[in-house]
A and B are shown apart, each in its own frame.
Chain A
Amino acid sequence: MPSLIARRTFLAGLGLSAGGLALGFFPADTRADDDPRGGEPPAKPPTRDPAVQAADPALHPNVFIHVALDGLVTITCHRSEMGQGIRSSLPVLLADELGADMARVRVVQADGDPKYGDQNTDGSNSVRGSYEEMRRAAATPRMLLIAAAARRWQVDPGSCHAEGHRVHHPASQRSLDFGELAAAAARLPIPQPDAVVLRPRAELRRIGTELPLIDAPAYVTGQAQYGADISVPGMLIAVIARPPVLGGRVASFDRARALAVPGVRQVLELPAPTPPYAFQPLGGVAVLADNTWAALRGREALGVTWQPGEHATHQSSQQREALLAAVRAPGAPARQLGDATAALAGAARIVEAEYLVPHLAHVPMEPPAALAHVRADGCEIWAPSQHPQAARKEAARILEIDEDRITLHVTFLGGGFGRKSKSDFIAEAVVLSRAAGVPVRVQWTREDDIRHDYFNTVSAQQLTAGLDADGQLVAWRHRTAFPPIDSTFNTDAEAPGPDDLQQGVLDLALSAPHVLAEACAAAPHVRIGWLRSVYNIFHGFAIGSFIDEIAAARNADPREVWLATLGPARVVPLAELGLEKLKNYGQSIAEHPVDAARLRHVIERVTALAGWDEQRRAGRALGLAAHRSFLSYVAVVASVILDPAGRLRVDEVWLVADAGQILSPDRVRAQMEGAVIFGMSHALHGAITLKDGAVEQSNFHDYRLIRMAEAPRAIHVELVASERPPGGVGEPGVPPVAPAIANAVFALTRQRVRELPLARSLKV
């Protein structure tokens, strides 16, 4: 068995000694400098621990930047890399703010540690949530380097600037390399937070331009290490038989038969979880072996029988009816403007439709895998985690030790989409390593991944529009029913709440004077999770389709109806939305208002790009949809055709995104291209259904994803140039895709499909 210690391998070739990474020793009171949650400045000026400083004389005023004596700048990326390119963008922001030359910058991945602030790589918030703080983290060493140079030259620091890895004093034409200044800078007092000065935006030279993908060489040579790629001496590999039905328990299993498989070393039963399930392991029986094949065979040999559990009578078909019944009756109001009920009753014309979207599975290409080594003094974990601090918490809870005894190394993630924010798979490794007395790497099979996911929730929605005699929208009612994410953490949660409806329902600008949105109850039967754009997937599908249906009812151009429905270009205040408050993805409504102008703009741009008028006149079947999510605005036009075999094909897609300021246009374009394919998968194919409480699907043959041959001939992405604060980019591309396709299908076939996936109704 090869013994590759993760950290060394991970940093192989970076030329960093362990001493240069004295990141674990910063005193707590320096955290406020770089804590992206902000908060009160420290009561006294931050100081370095003299012991730390003595151990490493380099410049490292915070956990994000280390300037070595030879000038090598190490930037720590505190967010997980799962394909969104965060390692290729956020560090460049810091390098630009610092004035470093990227050729002399190395990026290292942060372990899970609260000293980095919020490390939850989720909600499309890595840039938008830490932009200011990251800049300040880099401005601090810049100021110190300048101060050190100014002191040496006996000049005013204001007459110096940092650029190209050097500090320059133009007046005397002197300059010094960062390496030559690092030791001196390290001895200067760190500036107070309110004294940290950021560069003018124009001086950030690289961000916003075409940036390289720094990890590409590792990816294309097979060197990048993911969760299952780490091995340590003495490790066993575990494959777990989990209850097919949520809440089910082990009834019997044949331990001896599994142990008889060559290579199998241990068979361990996992504790059964109790609701709320949160991140607890699901229970079941684990087979631990020398290699994965033996573990897989061992699991097959177990012959586990199960006690079914409370959800064993659940059928997706029944749930579908229950959800529809729920939206056919009033729910809890979450948004009210005027009197929609009365207005609908008196409307000249009513348009009404119901939309259904099934459970969806994340299905990252890398199924969950995690390695844990529980020792007497603590625990070391290697995992592809989107939320390393939550995983650490979970491990600490299980082992009943302090979190600071737990080291969690974040590997590359072979896709996340929200699955790897949930630390259940890491918890399994911890539980098994403790029980087995050796390091254990848990490997989920694809079947495990599809059967035991934290599924995106299932939903039904009813939309009702009241039009006046001229076809103008006077009333809008939206009822939405879905088991909420909160049900995974709270057994009482059986209906969506207002914070859930903020995803697409509450933040929709509307021109109607009467608006009502209601949350309708729905009970969970699986672990509900969050999946790339989450509730926006089905809210976007319903709203995007419904506006198109209004257009069809009026025999009007969908683009015109979209613009009329949203109303004029304006920032829409909460009062006009019919709200008292809006969670607004955790950011201030002042900084990120609901801006109808921006949504109108992306609609206008994408239809122009797609040649909406000319193409439709020429008979091409185009569909349009738009959506605001995670503080960004995206509009999509999709074109569909029937291939010679009568199969629906999406042949071309246009997408315009307004995400405010963008660090890496290439990565954002890539996210949007990927979001189109991602959205196509659930628009056309993928659905999770349950029979007798168990998930019916198990692998790619019955949970289909878009393949290369189905990908459009072209995906045209345009990013709106903007100086606005950054919005999200990982998720916002997804919600408009399915409705744009469904609308194009209507244009092509006059068949309105209101239930995903399209494969239920059409040949795809």
Chain B
Amino acid sequence: MRRPALILAPLIATLASCGPTTPGPPAPGPPAPTPTVAAGQLPAPADFAGISDRAQRSRALFLAASPVFHHPRCANCHPDGDSPLQGMDGHLHDPPVVRGPDDHGVVGMQCQGCHQDRNLELARVPGAPKWALAPRAMAWVGKSAHEICTQLKDLNNNGGKDLQQLVEHNAHDELVAWGWSPGHGREPAPGTQASFGALIAAWVETGAECPQSEAKP
């Protein structure tokens, strides 16, 4: 039985429970029991202990982490096109800026011409070290959890990071960290970098399985 998919909002999705699955042969079956979380939070890896199938658990862990990737604080700088986005509605960055030859803007409008290494409150300008656009190969806007997952694991397109480096990056990178401390009344990504990092670590540890194409948290 398929549960109807819930529409993912920019806010945290509430994960609904359903009954436990019967252990059996691995199959792309119905979604396993997944934990409920309060808005703006992420579940902990321990909350997935109820999923006995490792691959299923892995997929569920990634799905639970995916609202972070989709959140505007992260997705806005992982656009598919030539310009970063702004706001909760993902409008084009104003003043108009473009990616440039190496994702750091063009002369006169480079990211770090305006963005500093930390948020500026009086000036409202967000900042973190190494502020720049993610390369186009790391675009997330408009992509499903499945697509992002696949992309994330692709060594050729993820900055050459192996899975362990991915865990490290997500859990500790300063630019990634910004998503949870965006400053000036901007809504942060769900959970914390630590809880996000923990989900990713657990996902890697369970085999880094990618959710089904149509799966949503």
Contacts and interface: CB of A to CB of B under 8 A. Distances in A.
- Real complex partners, A and B? yes
* B-side interface mostly: loop
B185 interface: no
Contacts of A171: none
Nearest to A297: B122
A707 B95 CA distance: 9
B96 A709 contact: yes
Nearest to A708: B96
Q: How large is the interface on A (under 10, 10 to 19, 20 to 34, 35 or more residues)?
A: under 10
A701 B96 contact: no
A701 B122 contact: no
A397 interface: no
A8 interface: no
Contacts of A704: 94
A675 interface: no
A300 interface: yes
Contacts of B94: 701, 704
Given A707-B96, A709-B96, 7 more contacts: A296-B122, A297-B122, A300-B122, A699-B124, A701-B94, A704-B94, A707-B95
Interface string A698-716: 0101001001010000000
Interface residues of B, number: 5
Nearest to A699: B124
A120 to B, nearest CB: 35
B185 to A, nearest CB: 13
Interface of A: 296-297, 300, 699, 701, 704, 707, 709
Interface in B51-96: 94-96
Contacts of B95: 707
Contacts of A707: 95-96
Nearest to A645: B92
B94 to A, nearest CB: 6
Contacts of A701: 94
B100 to A, nearest CB: 15
Contacts of B124: 699
B203 to A, nearest CB: 36
9 closest A-B pairs by CB: A709-B96, A701-B94, A296-B122, A300-B122, A707-B95, A707-B96, A704-B94, A297-B122, A699-B124
B160 to A, nearest CB: 33
Contacts of B122: 296-297, 300
A300 B122 CA distance: 8
Nearest to B92: A645
Contacts of A300: 122
Nearest to A702: B94
Nearest to A709: B96
A707 B97 CA distance: 12
A143 B94 CA distance: 59
Interface in B95-115: 95-96
Nearest to B94: A701
A728 to B, nearest CB: 33
A43 B151 CA distance: 92
A704 B122 CA distance: 19
A709 B94 CA distance: 12
Nearest to A293: B122
A363 to B, nearest CB: 15
A297 B124 CA distance: 14
Nearest to B87: A701
A430 B94 CA distance: 38
